[in-house]
Amino acid sequence: MKATAVAPANIAFIKFWGKKDASLRIPFNTSISMNLSGAVTTTTVEFSPKYKIDEVTLIDGVFSDTEKERVVEHLDRIRKKAGMNLHARVATKNSFPKSTGIASSASGFAALTVAAAGALGLNLSEKELTILARLGSGSACRSIPDGFVKWKDTFAYSLYPAHYWDLRDILVIVENTAKDVSSSAGHDLASTSPYFSVRLGNLPERIARVEVALKEKDFQKLGEAIEEDSLDMHQVMQTQNPPLMYWNDATKILMDAAISWRKNGLPVYFTIDAGPNVHLICEGKDEEGVVKVLRSRIPLRGTVKEVIINKPAAGTHLIGKHLF
CB 241 within 8 A of CB 196: no
Please report, as residue ranges, which positions from 213 to 272 form the binding site for ligand PMV (by CB under 6 A).
none
**Strand boundaries in the chain, DSSP class E:** 2-14, 19-21, 26-27, 31-47, 55-58, 88-94, 148-152, 155-160, 167-173, 269-271, 278-283, 306-310, 317-319
Q: How far is the CB of 125 from ligand PMV (least distance, A)?
A: 22
Is the CB of 106 or the CB of 257 nearer to ligand PMV? 106
Span interacting with ligand PMV, options 170-178, 181-189, 250-258, 282-290, rule CB under 6 A:
181-189
Is the CB of 102 or the CB of 250 nearer to ligand PMV? 102
* 137 lies in the binding site for ligand PMV (CB under 6 A): yes
Which residues sit opposite 4 in a β-bridge?
A: 44, 319
* 184 lies in the binding site for ligand PMV (CB under 6 A): yes
Is the CB of 12 or the CB of 119 nearer to ligand PMV? 12
CB 71 within 8 A of CB 58: no
* 143 lies in the binding site for ligand PMV (CB under 6 A): no
CA distances from 303 to 45, 142, 172, 175, 276 (A): 37, 30, 10, 8, 12
Which residues sit opposite 247 in a β-bridge?
A: none
SS3 (DSSP) at 51: coil
Span interacting with ligand PMV, options 40-48, 101-109, 198-206, 314-322, rule CB under 6 A:
101-109
Task: Name the residues that contact ligand PMV, by CB under 6 A.
Answer: 12, 15-17, 31, 103, 105-106, 137-139, 183-184, 187, 273-274
